[in-house]
Structure 1
Amino acid sequence: MRVLGIESSCDETGVAIYDMEKGLLAHRLFSQIAMHAEYGGVVPELASRDHIRKTLPLIEEVLDAASLTTADIDAVAYTAGPGLAGALLVGAAIGRSLAWALNIPALAVNHMEGHLLSPLLEVPAPAFPFVSLLVSGGHTQLVDVRGIGQYELLGESIDDAVGEAFDKTAKLLGMDYPGGPYLAAKAEQGVADRFVFPRPMTNRPGLDFSFSGLKTFAMNTWMETEQSDQDKADIALAFQTAVVETLAIKCKRALKQTGHKRLVVAGGVSANKALRQKLDSMKGVDVFYPRQQFCSDNGAMIAFAGAMRHQAMKHQEIPSFTVRPRWPLNELSPP
């Protein structure tokens, strides 16, 4: 069975084809970063219009790369949420229309489930059950994962997501958009322990996070310095170290609470080298990540998640469709 996956939840258009027997056949991604950089953030209307321009050409590219035609596709998976409503509607409309024209199933996929399952594309793939740390621009969550659709939310950020905190802190330090990767690169030039930032909510029980205070702490620290390039690097390092250690502390708690020995880390921030080094140093735990190119939004994770659900479910077609800008993981059910 071959599934065509379409991702259009925010500012990246991703298309991929996943074969249940042969694995990932082809994938393509177009990022809108250059367009949105002028505005310092994602402009929803511009994002939607660009998805309209790019999705069909990317589908053609992926089919050509896999030496397939639309007749060789057995199902279409598309991101139905969470995300920007207009951007989601583009992928949903194209995915549903293509599936209807080909008389094949159309599968609405949860974007965060796509991220959560993306490390299963790798070899070796993690086996269920495991704890998942989802870290992206919009989400920071710890999830107890026992199977497809069997998710228990253990903790999440009560304010800024970790990726959002990275981007906002980078912006106040005068870095370009998107700021997270720039801040991480700048941190490599920093002097360790010159500044020590708090590890929020680690001195109390529970698995929730809070990162907005770190952003404020960084701003206050920045205002008290001469604002030199070295000051910027040292603050970037102190901020990143605090975030990484906070995430690691909460991961250890989640693993102890569930009794699991496997940790799966996914989402855009899972590409952060300092985070990977810290989590890899934990003893008695097997840690899994997606490959670097699949940490950010992509069509491969949507095609794969759609294939996993289609394989396990009795599909029932419905003629209409909707999208869910807010769609919590804990509202998903097993197929």
Structure 2
Amino acid sequence: MNTCTKYKLILSQFLAASLCTSACLAADLQAEGVQNLKAKNYTKALECFNSALKEQPNNWQLWQNIGSCHMQLGHNDAAINSLQKSIEIGGLHAGQCTLMAAALEGRGQPKQALSWLTLACKIDPSRAADPGMQAAIRELQDPLKNPGGSPDSPDYLSGLVDINRWREQDMPLKVYVRKNVQLPGFYERFLGVVREAMEQWCQASGNAVSYKLVPGPESASLVWDYTDRPELCTSNHEPGLEGVNEMRLRMEDRTAAAGNITVVVKKGPNAPSFRDRQLILTTCLHEAGHALGIHGHSPNTHDVMFLAASPEAKPKLSQRDANTIKLMYKRDWK
């Protein structure tokens, strides 16, 4: 055996051993990541998958698992990017489609999410019979999550599920802002935000809607609360908005009779700071819109009444928001 041949043989054996070691390491890391993923330890799982990716950058399943972790952590843009990379490398699979749907739903894009779930069922027809898949599709078809109407029309009245206005004799609405004894120092700030939100809607309605503050909940038609407990404001159709409202309707005409709005102002008792004022105002505007009778959402991300937190939505009513409330209260009142 000549020297050149000998070194080629040694080199090939070394490379084979290195590739085996690399593949084994990646497999171990991926297995550890899957265990953490099943245990819902998504941050640790993501670390494992990213480490494995350094050894096998073209492994489409790793990219899919990374997308799954990002989706579970609420990193929806990162999830979509990772899943697109997985599809680019390994082709289209039903699992990628399902994860893509979840990430898009998290971004407040139910129409696109529904398309991806439908695609998952086409790729793997057995999924169409799965009760969980059927429930997810039905939920995305719900008008509350998937508003009708055009995002470019002057208003979104036609796409609403229902309209539950207050009666003319209910004006001015009696509003009470309740002080949270656990967060007394935030009361004045929250009161200011509520007043700004209510005044925006009143002005947008052409002053058909009006309100006044009252000293106690007994005489109030609309009560506002604020909290540092996000679990009190969970919503399966308004991701990221951090607010919730409960309305009581009159049976005879389905007009609004009373309401209560709760808004998260701090992400937990131990959070280092309160939420940004602009974010709180956007949430207050959105929940006030529901309380004034908008039962449903806008399909346009620039509107306050879009179904999820959106970077395009500003803490100010859009022209479409204003047109919608004005039309609602312009009609003959009962």
Please state which structure has a larger fraction of its residues in strand: 1
Higher relative CO (Cα under 8 Å, sequence separation at least 6) belongs to: 1
TM over 0.5: no
- Give the structure-2-normalised TM-score: 0.22
Q: Which structure dedicates a bigger proportion of its chain to helix?
A: 2
- Structure possessing the higher radius of gyration over alpha carbons: 2
